[in-house]
Chains A and B, each alone.
Chain A
Amino acid sequence: MKEVIKITTPLNEKKIIQLKAGDLVKITGYIYAARDAAHKKFFELIKRNKKLPIDLKGKIIFYAGPTPAKPGYSCGSVGPTTSYRMDPYTPSLLEKGLKGMIGKGFRSKEVIDSIKKNKAVYFVAVGGAAALIAKSVKKSEVIAYEDLGAEAIYRFYVEDFPAIVVVDSAGNNLYETEPPKYRK
């Protein structure tokens, strides 16, 4: 296995261009959990030129909605949700300075083009490893859209959050390069 690369948030272009598809990373710092409904709201605010509840510059968004935290836990189970549902909204968010996304599954061509154009990165976390991933979330708070319940925006402080670089800033895509090696 490759050596794990430690990265911290916020991200900047210099750090991002060093990350290559296939790299294993451990992320430390603040990341933001947002999924379908929050993306829809972001998109509408951007369209109307309104301020977003978070400044996206250099940020990482984690496509996720955690389970409620059990007493004594800093966060409930939390793993990635499928990313393609965020695709229609993603290029607008990247234009606003978003630098990283953590999810699982395919991205559209438009998103990959925008990742290249804006020098961003798409990380994948292992779907269904939510109890394990939650161990890296040290602090969790709802910072917007509490009324959305599971779809509210959370700010997580993570330490050594395990992820894999799947689409790098040059547009290399692990989902396209790896499976053919095992195809029969």
Chain B
Amino acid sequence: MRKVKTSQIKDKVKELFLKANFYINSDLMQQLEKALKEENSPLGKHVLQMIIENNKIASREEVPICQDTGLAVVFVEVGQEVHLVDGDFAEAINQGVKEAYKEGYLRKSVVDDPVFERKNTKTNTPAIIYTNIVPGDKIKLLAMPKGFGGENMSTIAMLKPTDGKKGIIDFVVETVKKAGPNPCPPTIIGVGVGGTADKAMVIAKKAIIRKIGQSNKNSKYAALEKEILTKINNLGIGPAGLGGNISSLAVHIDYLPTHIAGIPVAVNVCCHAARHAEGLL
């Protein structure tokens, strides 16, 4: 057994949320530069230039890329050889989030009760935490501040097995079309296929942060990603939704075995920032 203090988790979570909010990952920056070259619309190019310039300012000055510093989503893989000591695991994560959002001058965007009180918790907690137990003696942490411009455009459908590939394509493309300018295009589209309704959305969310443009390992799914991306870009939405041939930067699909009676399809929409940071303990 390897002992890990929960205070180490807290410190790492804090570090990762600060990093994710200030620094755009290099794969995404490269994809934005590529989009700038490929975009045909003058207004679309102008928008992409602003986005690129924005990301440079954010990292240079260590200020948030976006004012919506997101709901704090944390994916944790805990090695089964790890023994967590000196405190509560979830509390440590929330404390890390709290400290990052306070000390990093990040916006606190969480309300306690979703319907009635809607009172700001003023700490940006609680975080959304997904924990998996895996082999080994390490802890892998993934911090994903998720803005709600994209999250609000996310959808789920329980398709019939006969809907197949075409059903999936139509549903994803329709979701992006309806969202139009709202989720800050060019977007990154995470798609989760299979599992259950809930699991499909979780893998859709996690698919967003795959290295941009890296295809699914299964060639059939890789071809599906490509086909959907082409169809999305043919919608003409463009950067900021003001017209253009670059509407999404990537479509990432992940899949899981599912029930004989269905195909759950979840679409998790993300803005052009797709903020995330990973760390190991």
Spell out A's residues near B (CB within 8 Å).
1, 22, 24, 37, 64-70, 73, 76-79, 81-82, 84, 104-106, 124, 126-135, 148-151, 162, 164, 166, 174-175, 177-184
Chain B CB within 10 A, most for which of A1, A82, A131, A133: A131
Check if B41 is an interface residue, CB within 8 A of chain A: yes
Q: Which residues of A contact B237 (CB under 8 A)?
A: 179
Say yes or no: B181 contacts A64, CB within 8 Å: no
Say yes or no: B43 contacts A132, CB within 8 Å: no
Check if B169 is an interface residue, CB within 8 A of chain A: no
Within 8 A of A (CB), among B112-168: 118, 120, 122, 149, 152
Closest to A36 in B: B118
- Give 13 new A-B contacts, CB below 8 A, not counting A126-B50, A128-B66, A179-B242: A37-B118, A69-B105, A76-B63, A81-B68, A131-B55, A131-B57, A132-B53, A135-B57, A150-B108, A178-B238, A182-B243, A182-B245, A183-B235
Check if B263 is an interface residue, CB within 8 A of chain A: no
Mask for B179-222, Cβ within 8 A of A = 1, else 0?
01111100000000000000000000000000000000000000
- State the CA gap A18–B42 with chains docked (Å): 22
Q: Which residues of A contact B105 (CB under 8 A)?
A: 67-70, 76
How many positions in chain B have a CB within 8 Å of any CB in the partner chain?
50
- Main SS at interface, chain B: loop
Q: Which residues of B contact A1 (CB under 8 A)?
A: 42-43, 46
- B182: contacting residue among A104, A131, A149, CB under 8 A: A104
Mask for B83-114, Cβ within 8 A of A = 1, else 0?
00000000000000000000001111100000
- A106: contacting residue among B41, B46, B69, B181, CB under 8 A: B181
Given A67-B106, A67-B107, decide whether A130 and B66 contact each other with a Cβ distance below 8 A. yes
- A79: contacting residue among B67, B235, B244, B245, CB under 8 A: B67
- State the CA gap A105–B238 with chains docked (Å): 12
Given A81-B149, A105-B182, A135-B57, decide whether A148 and B65 contact each other with a Cβ distance below 8 A. no
Mask for B231-248, Cβ within 8 A of A = 1, else 0?
000111110111111000
The 7 closest A-B pairs by CB, nearest first: A178-B243, A182-B236, A127-B184, A183-B236, A105-B182, A132-B54, A179-B236
